[in-house]
Amino acid sequence: MVIIKNKDGFTLIEVMITMFVLSIGILAMTMMQIKATNGSSSAQSRTRANSIALTFLEELKRLPFDDVNLTGSAGADLDAGIAPAGGAPTPADAAHVYIAANFPFLTNMYQPSGTDILDTTGKVFQIFWNVDRSPVTIGTSTYTSFCTIKLFVYWNTPLGRNHVIITAIKYNNIKV
């Protein structure tokens, strides 16, 4: 007696294994897409923070050398405002905090919210800075020919606080 098996179809176990392998592949692609979206969002926030920081720094450099927003002391702690390990930074640690009334130019570009700035997506950025005005002695005269500005921009992400720190030098262009 000859038994002929039909080999034209798939067995139920073959279909289940195929579905399992396919679902693992789809799940992996979904996770990859979620990570890519989160990475893109993080990069977009960092780009906005850089843009805000550079715009704000240019505004500080535009101010007169004796402006109240550029006051500082010799040997000032420029790093005040950086979070200690495990701590949360606060603008209270810095010498200066963003106040919209002092920078009307920026209110045309960004929406102020108290001492914070909101971008077009509603993300909140905190801005604060420190200034060091260490004098330089030439001969018997002492000059404050420049100041160092360290600007901090902080914002919240789903993974915690993120920040951008930029340091620049502003020269006292004395007219003789």
* Averaged pLDDT for residues 87-107: 80
User: How would residue 136 be classed by pLDDT, with cut points 50, 70 and 90?
Assistant: confident
37 occurs within a structural domain: no
Residue-by-residue DSSP string for the chain: -------SS--HHHHHHHHHHHHHHHHHHHHHHHHHHHHHHHHHHHHHHHHHHHHHHHHHHHS-TT-GGG--BTT--TTTTSPPTT----GGGSSEE--GGG-HHHHTTSEEETTEEE-TT--EEEEEEEEE---EEETTEEE--EEEEEEEEEEEETTEEEEEEEEEEEE-----
112 occurs within a structural domain: yes
14 occurs within a structural domain: no
The tens digit of pLDDT for each residue in 22-41 reads 999 999 999 999 888 777 77
pTM: 0.74
50 occurs within a structural domain: yes
Per the structure, the complete domain to which residue 114 belongs is given by 42-171
